[in-house]
Amino acid sequence: MTATKGLEGIVATTSSISSIIDGVLTYRGINIDELAENATFEEVAYLLWYGKLPNQSELDGLIRQLGEFAPVPAEVIEQLKLYPKNSNSMAALRTAVSSLALYDAEANDMSPEVNVRKAIKLQAQLPTVIAAFARIRQGKDPIQPKSGVSVAYNFLYMLSGEEPSEVAVKALDQALVLHADHELNASTFAARVTVATLSDIYSGVTSAIGALKGPLHGGANEAVMVMLEEIGSLANVESYINDKLANKVKIMGFGHRVYKDGDPRAKHLMKMSRELGKQQNNLELYEMSVKIEELVTGQKGLKPNVDFYSASVYTTLGIARDLFTPIFAISRLSGWTAHILEQYENNRLIRPRAEYTGPANAKYIPIAER
């Protein structure tokens, strides 16, 4: 038995949800470029869960359900108030999702219709939990979600308590479309491993949130913003990046396990970053990001991934840095749950082997002789 480090190149399951073939990403066979330009996040979530685009009445039905499920149990809001104010936002989300299961009478019901309903419920409740946490830690009251509006609108509304601009809603909606699914990425794999034991959907999503949190995966979008803040201005980019590269420090938001010629999602986020910057008459973050890309691609051949330009996009939308990865979770929840449903449909326990590298024939030594 020989181990493949990081399972690189290992095909661990079949899936009909999303594909990355020759650098092209599709959801259910539809090119991400087409979806990014035309689809709303709710259409994409429906596509991932049901395997087809919704017609108008199906879409209206989903938006209605999302509105009905969006309020979270009062007990969960009370618990959020007890979390330390400086809690890591992904840790808070991981805890809150685990807690949501305790207040869902259907949490352990494994029938397929109930599992789809729980996927929609979680999709509706994640934004409410994150926005409530963000407000509570600022000493503000949470805002009740609206019904009949998009996930992007509701999240921005619940964060600030004000009607979000059309531009902001459209930008966030497009970012949600772009992050919704990505084949067997680490957090989706974690979700599938968990539910392949026939554990429940909340357990799968809690595992996935834990995996997304790390800076080699979803946590990279926050790490990119930390870097942009450390750099501070366009004039400092070159010396900062050259220094990091010379010291073999990884530049967050670059590189990818699967894409070697660039992440097809990055160009959409780059464009969004430029357009939002222009609208606000402040292109500094965008220009700094472009300069970083020039240097990192020029010197290392590494291309930006989905996390790189999303940092300047979310900051330009006025969103706090530590909510970037939770926003990724809001979007990826649709993909995680689609994969969980697919795993249940054709389940087999996921249990690979390890190549043993420890000592052989070791003997037990009585404690007095050690």
Ligand X SMILES: O=C([O-])CC(=O)C(=O)O
Ligand Y SMILES: CC(=O)SCCNC(=O)CCNC(=O)[C@H](O)C(C)(C)COP(=O)(O)OP(=O)(O)OC[C@H]1O[C@@H](n2cnc3c(N)ncnc32)[C@H](O)[C@@H]1OP(=O)(O)O
Footprint of ligand Y (CB under 6 A): 6, 216-218, 220, 250-257, 300, 302, 305-307
Binding at 26: pick from ligand Y, ligand X, none (beta carbon under 5-8 Å per type): none
Separation of alpha carbons 187 and 121, rounded Å: 20
Q: Tell me the two tokens of residue 348.
A: 């087999």
Q: Could you confirm whether 256 is annotated as catalytic?
A: yes
In the complex, the smallest distance separating the C-beta of residue 171 from ligand Y, rounded to whole angstroms, is 18
Shortest Cβ distance from residue 263 to ligand Y (Å)? Answer: 7
Q: Which of 104, 200, 263, 307 is catalytic?
A: 307
Instruction: Identify the residue among 146, 257, 267, 300 touching ligand X (CB under 6 A).
Output: 257
Q: Which among ligand X, ligand Y, none contacts residue 291 (Cβ within 5 to 8 A by kind)?
A: none
Q: Is 208 a binder of ligand X (CB under 6 A)?
A: no
**Which residues, 6 or more positions from 105, have their beta carbon under 8 angstroms from its beta carbon?**
none
Binds ligand X by CB under 6 A, chosen from 185, 273, 289, 334 = 185
- Residue 251: which of ligand Y, ligand X, none does it interact with, CB under 5 to 8 A by kind? ligand Y
* One-letter identity of residue 227: M
- Binding footprint of ligand X, residue count (CB under 6 A): 7
Q: Are 202 and 338 in contact (CB under 8 A)?
A: no
Give the 3-state DSSP-derived string for 69-111, with helices as H, strands as E and coil as C.
Answer: HCCCCHHHHHHHHHCCCCCCHHHHHHHHHHHHHHCCCCCCCCC
In the bound state, the residue with its beta carbon closest to ligand X is 185
* Minimum CB distance to ligand Y, residue 347 (Å): 26
Tokens 């480090």 belong to which residue?
A: 5
Residue of minimal Cβ distance to ligand Y: 255
For position 213 contacting ligand X by CB under 6 A, the verdict is: no
CB of 75 to ligand Y, least distance (A): 32
d(CA 370, CA 368) in angstroms, rounded, equals 6
CB of 327 to ligand Y, least distance (A): 12
- What values do phi and psi take at 21, rounded to 5? -125, 125
- Active site annotation includes 307: yes
Q: CB of 257: closest distance to ligand X in angstroms? A: 5
Tell whether residue 306 is a contact of ligand X (CB under 6 A).
yes
Q: Which does 216 bind (CB under 5 to 8 A by kind): ligand Y, ligand X, none?
A: ligand Y
Residue 182 touching ligand X (CB under 6 A)? yes
Give, to the nearest 10 degrees, the angle between helix 151-160 and helix 324-345: 140
CA dihedral 354, 357, 358, 362 (to 10 degrees): 100
The total number of residues written for the chain in this structure = 370
Q: Which does 255 bind (CB under 5 to 8 A by kind): ligand X, ligand Y, none?
A: ligand Y
Chain-centre distance for alpha carbon 248: 27
- Among residues 256, 263, 268, 339, which one is catalytic? 256
Q: Give 104 or 342: the residue with its C-beta nearer to ligand X.
A: 342
Span interacting with ligand X, options 161-169, 228-236, 238-246, 256-264, rule CB under 6 A: 256-264
- Residue nearer to ligand Y on the CB measure, 173 or 307: 307
Of 214, 212, 217, 241, give the one whose Cα is nearest residue 227. Answer: 241
What is the contact surface with ligand X in residues (CB under 6 A)? 182, 185, 256-258, 305-306
Hey, which residues are catalytic here? 256, 307
